[in-house]
């Protein structure tokens, strides 16, 4: 059965476009959208389009019209800031007959609000770094030895890789916290933060250990499928640059715990640290992350799994050939925009 897939906010995710093109094997088309035709991922799509900025009033109506016109079977968002918007309008969009591969508003809120992430992880019995939104409370914790430098200072809402500071003294912490607040007032997250601006910056324990990225896969009804792990060997601009695939039962247990409680749909990108043999969960991102290619190349073809599920094929075990010990490294390529 032919499937036409639309990737919104496609940006630089060329690898996803090509993975899904391979999975379709000619039985449908890949549409990629961005607010500019200069987005690199649009080069590799079968059809490239522009849509309004996700914050414009006509974004959802424009998206809906495109879905209907081109008979889009499924929509996949690749942008943290778009997820809350699509989740609010998921029913409206799916009334066109498409499948919006996106978790419900509750899941999106847990992931988008890093304090909600902290609370969720603690509630399900997993470890996560000590986290504060109140400067005085964090200062008190430092003074009584509960919290120790170095620390992490970052925004509560949005992408965790944006504007992170690592203060090592009280003076640096005060400066970093104040600067983050000033930057937030000028950022596109101002609107989402203003209802609780005094608690919009996180002060978090900085973990010293090995960092892992994991893909936790649920089906489109929220049922757990599997966990796929890579140890991060190096990072660049907030994304994994080099990694090695890992198979370890303790990660499988952690992934299943998160999946069965969160009930997300599709892929969940997650950051985990190991400290003294214990696992600590940092972030939950209910979408394909920048580290997915490392999982894909190590043998889990989530693109093909999505296509099978859209075609009502339940048995997808053939697409899981995940193996440990595979090392991959990203590199850039130059694309001509025509």
What is d(CA 79, CA 75) in angstroms, rounded to the nearest whole number?
12
Number of domains in the chain: 3
Tally of CA atoms within 13 A in the half-sphere of 178 that contains its CB: 6
Q: Is residue 74 part of a domain?
A: yes
**Does 300 lie in the same domain as 217?**
yes
Q: Is residue 113 part of a domain?
A: no
**Does 245 lie in the same domain as 184?**
no
Q: What is the pLDDT along the chain (338 residues), one digit of tens a residue?
A: 899 999 999 999 999 999 999 999 999 999 999 999 999 999 999 999 999 999 999 999 999 999 999 999 999 999 999 999 999 999 999 999 999 999 999 999 999 999 999 999 999 999 999 999 999 999 999 999 999 999 999 999 876 566 799 999 999 999 999 999 998 888 766 666 666 788 999 999 999 999 999 999 999 999 999 999 999 999 887 788 999 999 999 999 999 999 999 999 999 999 999 999 999 999 999 999 999 999 999 999 999 999 999 999 999 999 999 999 999 999 988 999 98
**Does 275 lie in the same domain as 300?**
yes
Of the candidates 59, 7, 50, which has an alpha carbon nearest to the alpha carbon of residue 32?
Answer: 7
What is d(CA 334, CA 338) in angstroms, rounded to the nearest whole number?
13
Return the biggest CA–CA distance within the chain: 63
Q: What is the pLDDT of residue 262?
A: 98
Angle subtended at Cα 156 by Cα 152 and Cα 158, rounded to the nearest 5 degrees: 110
Q: What is the pLDDT of residue 198?
A: 84
What is d(CA 244, CA 232) in angstroms, rounded to the nearest whole number?
7
Instruction: Look up the CATH number of the domain holding residue 247.
Output: 3.30.470.20
Map residue 80 onto helix, strand or coil.
coil
Domain that holds residue 174: 130-205
**Does 219 lie in the same domain as 320?**
yes
**Does 139 lie in the same domain as 98?**
no
Angle subtended at Cα 330 by Cα 329 and Cα 331, rounded to the nearest 5 degrees: 125
Tell me how far the alpha carbon of residue 109 is from its chain's centroid.
13
Q: What is the pLDDT of residue 41?
A: 97
């Amino acid at each position: 059965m032919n499937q036409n897939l639309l990737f919104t906010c496609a940006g630089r995710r060329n690898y996803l476009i090509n993975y899904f093109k391979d999975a379709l094997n000619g039985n449908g088309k890949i549409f990629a959208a961005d607010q500019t035709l200069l987005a690199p991922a649009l080069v590799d799509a079968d059809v490239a389009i522009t849509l309004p900025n996700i914050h414009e009033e006509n974004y959802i109506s424009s998206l809906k019209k495109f879905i209907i016109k081109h008979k889009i079977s499924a929509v996949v968002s690749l942008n943290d800031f778009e997820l809350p918007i699509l989740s609010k309008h998921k029913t409206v969009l799916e009334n066109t007959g498409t499948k919006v591969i996106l978790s419900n508003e509750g899941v999106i809120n847990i992931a988008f609000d890093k304090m909600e992430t902290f609370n969720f992880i603690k509630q399900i019995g997993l470890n996560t770094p000590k986290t504060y939104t109140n400067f005085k409370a964090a200062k008190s914790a430092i003074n009584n030895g509960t919290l120790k430098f170095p620390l992490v200072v970052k925004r509560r809402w949005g992408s965790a890789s944006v504007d992170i500071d690592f203060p090592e003294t009280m003076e640096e912490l005060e400066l970093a916290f104040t600067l983050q607040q000033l930057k937030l007032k000028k950022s596109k997250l101002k609107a989402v933060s203003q209802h609780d601006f005094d608690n919009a910056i996180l002060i978090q324990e900085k973990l010293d250990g090995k960092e892992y990225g994991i893909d936790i896969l649920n089906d489109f009804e929220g049922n757990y499928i599997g966990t796929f792990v890579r140890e991060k060997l190096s990072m660049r601009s907030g994304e994994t640059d080099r990694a090695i695939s890992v198979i370890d039962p303790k990660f499988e247990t952690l992934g299943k715990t998160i999946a069965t409680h969160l009930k997300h749909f599709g892929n969940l990108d997650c950051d985990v640290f190991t400290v003294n043999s214990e696992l600590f969960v940092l972030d939950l991102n209910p979408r394909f992350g920048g580290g997915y290619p490392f999982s894909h190349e190590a043998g889990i073809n989530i693109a093909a799994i999505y296509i099978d599920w859209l075609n009502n094929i339940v048995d997808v075990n053939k697409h899981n050939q995940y193996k440990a010990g595979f090392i991959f490294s990203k590199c850039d390529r130059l694309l001509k925009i025509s």
